[in-house]
Structure 1
Amino acid sequence: MNEAFLQYIWQYALFQPDQLQDTAGRSLLIIHPGRLNKDEGPDFSNARIRIDGVEWIGNIEIHIRSSDWKRHHHEHHPLYQNIILHVVWENEGLPSWGNFSTLEIRPFVRQEILEKYGKLFFFVFPDSLYLHAAPGAGYQDKGLVRKPFDPKVAAEKQRTGKVSLYLWSTTGAACCI
């Protein structure tokens, strides 16, 4: 699991929304997941959620582990003071470092989503990079498209030997992997 894919799961509600609970056992309803932020600051802005019947509007931060909040030093950064929900893949049972709820989303993500994620293969060609599903895996998702990368990406690979991979959807959203 990586944070970019977790953001994708959150943005497109690829989890079971029924009977969500935060780590304190309070009921949680996602009214609007917020707008993906690709700049500095929380991952999603202007989200609307309801916790035990009380509606909250604010920002959502997403991490793989609950301890990533402190590891990233968010508790000292003013951009993270309007967090209403910390969405994590794995809650380590640590106390919250802010006045917000935590949702461990792993139990609510459908297994088929994880299987599709696991079946994705990436192939690098000499002049471009494409996203493909694994041959014979029976995986076909019209929401994912083959997209060649621009020459800057090829130059990055040539220069550094590494390249950032992106998952593109037909809705225009990109998920860095």
Structure 2
Amino acid sequence: MSTAPGPYDRGRDRDRDAAGRARNQRPRDGLGRPLPYGADGVDRQPEGVVRTPGESVDEAQALLDAGRPFHAHEVFEDAWKTGPEEERGLWKGLAQLAVGLTHAARGNTTGGARLLLRGAEAVADWSASTGRSRPHGIDVAELTAWARALSARVAGDAAPVDAASHAPRLRGRAPE
């Protein structure tokens, strides 16, 4: 049994933020999995941050490259919730792609494969409906090809993938 303090040890029924909203304050690992209270975890992404689209893409790419797709998902979620209505489908699809990679890295390869396909479809559908193939520099064709290929690779395979080495290039391949 763990002796690390939990929310009940602090005299509260649940973890709450300053506004009283329920928030799980357990530390998390690099893939967003909860760790025991008192454990050393990875710093969480702050919620509700308003960034420019370019800042969102840059920050998410850095997190993906570092093998932290769960945290990249949170950046995309902020963009989806704070950005213009007409771009919500794009950011939601990008968040699904990051969660798909998270699940594949955690070993839930079947769920990861499904989310990768769902995210690829959402991004491709948004691109087709808006006529934008490179929103904010994101190479939609290359990104959706990456997601479909990774989905096919991990579908039914119980082995987790390394998130950093399987991270997508949001703005396409780096020049050689």
**Normalising by structure 1, what TM-score?**
0.28
Report which of the two has the higher share of helix: 2
Normalised to the residue count of structure 2, the TM-score between the two structures is: 0.28
